[in-house]
Amino acid sequence: MRWCGRFRAGTCATATVFTITNLVPGGGPINLLTEQLAGMPLLSAAGLVTFLASGVLLSLYFGSLVLSQKLAQHRLRRLWSDTGAIPRTFLYLRSFDHGKSSLIDRIRRIFEHGTVGPFARAVYKMHDPEEEIAHAVASAGLLVAIGDKTRSYGAAKLRTDDAVWQDEVLRLAEEAELIFISPALTEGSKWELHQLIERKELLRKSIFVMPRNWYADEWDELRQACRELFSLEFPEYEARGAYFAVGEQGHLHRTMEPEAFIRSLNLRPTREAMARGLGVLTGA
C-alpha cells in the first residue's frame, strides 16, 4: 500500500501544477507565452496539451486511490474472516461531513480560499489525514473507520448497523494501538469525544487532527465548544494544520506539524513512540 501512496503523491502534485497552470487568470504561463509568440503554431497547442496531460494524471491519481481503498477493504475482510478480530488496529474517528474526500472534493480544495488566500495548496500542499495515517501505519497494522456514508480514502471501512455503531466504536477503541480523531460538533462526534473523556485509558492513546487549510473561524467555534462541553484544550488554528494530544485533565501539551508527525508515525507507529513525539500519551 505504501507504493500506492508514493505514486498518488507524485501524480497529485504534478496534476495540481498542470491544472493551476491551465486555470489561473490569463490562461497560465504557458498560454501567456503562447500569446507573446502567437506566430509559432507549436506553442498555440500548449494549452490543450497541458489540459490533456492534467486529465491523464488526475485519472491515474484517482485510479490509485480506488485501488488502494480496495486493497484496504480486502485486507479487512481477510483478517476478519481468518481470526474474527483485526490484529493491531488503529482507529480513525471522524464525522462523515468532515471526512468526505472524494476526487471532486480534492480538486475543489486546490482552489478554495481557506485561511491563507487563493490557491492555498501552493502555500501548503494538500494533506489528507486519513490517507496519510493509513499509509504510515500500513506496515504495522490497519487503520479502520466506522461507516462509509461519504467517499473517503485511506482507512478500511467497517460497515455496521446504526443500532450498534457505538458498540463497535468502543470495541475498536479498546483494541486499537492508537486512536486518531478529527473532531467535529455533530452528535456522533460529540458522543465519541465524551467516551474519550470518560475513559482515560482511551484518551491516553488518542491523537487529534487539526485540518490543513481549513477555516479559522470554524476551528475557533469547535475549540470553544470542546472547552465548554468536554474541558478539552485545543490549540489555536494554524493554516498548515497539526497533530496534537491532551493530558488526562484535558490540558494541551505539544503539537506537531503534519509532515513531521507522519514521518515519526511511519518510523514507529506505536504508543510509546508517539508519547515521545507529542509528550502527552503517558497520561501526564
Cell of 26: 490569463
CA quadruple 114, 98, 155, 241: dihedral, nearest 10: 40
Q: How many Cβ atoms from other residues are within 10 Å of residue 237's Cβ?
A: 19
Cell 479502520 locates to 144
Cell of 81: 474472516
**pLDDT tens figures, 98-133:** 656 666 666 665 555 444 444 444 445 678 899 999
**pLDDT tens figures, 43-62:** 456 777 776 777 777 777 77
Cell of 72: 484496504
Band the pLDDT of 35: cuts 50, 70, 90. Answer: very low
The domain limits of the chain are 1-83, 86-284
Bridge partners (DSSP) listed for residue 180: 92, 207
Residue 82 has pLDDT above 70, yes or no: no
pTM flag (> 0.75): no
Band the pLDDT of 28: cuts 50, 70, 90. Answer: very low
Q: What percent of the chain has pLDDT over 70?
A: 66
